[in-house]
Amino acid sequence: MRILITAGPTREYLDDVRYLSNASSGRMGYAIADAALQAGHEVVLVTGPVALEPPAGCEVHHIETTDDLLNSCVKLFPSCDGVIAVAAVCDYRPVERVRGKITKTGTAVTFEFIETADVLAELGKHKENRWIVGFALESQDPRENAMRKLKMKNCDCIVLNDTSAIAADANDVEVLNPNAETVAQFRGAKPEVAVKLFRWIESQIAPL
Ligand code: CTP
C-alpha cells in the first residue's frame, strides 16, 4: 500500500518572527511511519518542523503552516490508499499576519484569531475508496469528542489519546470504531505502540 502519514505540529505566524504552534514532538507520527515502512509499505510523510530525522525510505514533504499541510495532503491523497493523520495541527491563525517584526510598545497587545482549515475533514470529503485513520487529542469528554471528530472527518476509526501524550516518551491509546466501540487499546513506549497500532490498522482497516 501507499500510505499518507501526517506528523508533527503546524505553525501560524503572527509576524515574520513569532508563531503560534502545538507542543508536538512528531515522535508518534514518525514511529508509525517507521512501522509502516518496516511492514513493507510505501510511506508518504507530510511533516511539520520537528527535531527528528524522517525514517529512511519515506517520501518526505516538509510543511510549516496548516495551509501548507492542506495543500500537500490534497495533492498527495489521491495517489494513496489511505491516511493516518497524526499531525498536531495549529487550529488558529491570526486574521492578519504582520510583515516584518512587531515592535514592543510596553503595553498589552491583542490579536484576533480565526480557525485554520480542517485538513482531515477536507480529505474525508474526497475519501472515495480510501481509508482514513484519525487521531483525537482530548482533555475532557474524550469519547464524545473523539466520536464527533470521527464522524465529521469521515474516519474509519479514531485513535484517542490524552494531553499526557504531548512530547512524552510513552502513549496510551484507545481505538474507537464508527459505532463508538473500543476495538483496540495499546499502551507503552511510542515506538511499541506505533508497531501494534499499525499492525492493527493493516489487518482491520486497510483491507476495507
Ligand atoms: N486535524 C486536521 N486539521 C485540523 C485539525 C486536526 O487534519 N485543522 C486532524 C488531526 O491530525 C487529527 C484529527 O484531525 O487526526 C483530530 O485532531 P484534534 O487536534 O484532536 O482535534 P481538532 O479537530 O483540532 O478539534 P479540537 O482542537 O477542537 O479538539
pLDDT (tens digit per residue) in 23-78:
889 999 999 999 999 999 999 999 999 999 999 999 999 999 999 999 999 999 99
Predicted confidence at residue 163, as pLDDT, reads 79
Supply angle C-alpha 163, 206, 141, rounded to 5. 25
* pLDDT tens-place string over residues 92-125: 999 999 999 999 999 999 999 999 999 999 999 9
Average pLDDT on 148-175 reads: 90
Predicted confidence at residue 143, as pLDDT, reads 94
Distance CA 158, CA 143 (A): 10
CATH of domain 2-97+111-204: 3.40.50.10300
- The yes-or-no verdict on residue 176 having pLDDT over 80 is yes
- Grid coordinates representing 187? 499502551
**Distance, CA 104 to ligand 1 centroid (Å)?**
33
Query: How large a percentage of the chain has pLDDT more than 70?
Result: 100
DSSP codes of every residue in 22-75: ----SHHHHHHHHHHHHTT-EEEEEE-S-SSPPPTT-EEEE--SHHHHHHHHHH
- The yes-or-no verdict on residue 131 having pLDDT over 70 is yes
Predicted confidence at residue 208, as pLDDT, reads 59
Domain boundaries, the chain: 2-97+111-204
Please state the length of the chain: 208
Out of 149, 161, 175, give the residue to mutate to test ligand 1, the one with the largest number of ligand atoms within 8 Å of its CB. 149
Distance CA 142, CA 123 (A): 23
Phi-psi region of 95 (alpha: psi -120 to 50; beta: other; left: phi over 0): alpha
Query: How large a percentage of the chain has pLDDT more than 90?
Result: 89
Predicted confidence at residue 66, as pLDDT, reads 98
Average pLDDT on 171-195 reads: 94
Mean pLDDT score of the chain: 95
- The yes-or-no verdict on residue 171 having pLDDT over 90 is no
Residue 145 annotated in active site: no
Q: CA 13 from chain center: how many Å?
A: 19
**CB 87 near ligand 1, within 6 Å:** yes
**CB 58 near ligand 1, within 6 Å:** no
Residues 100/22, Cβ–Cβ less than 8 Å: no
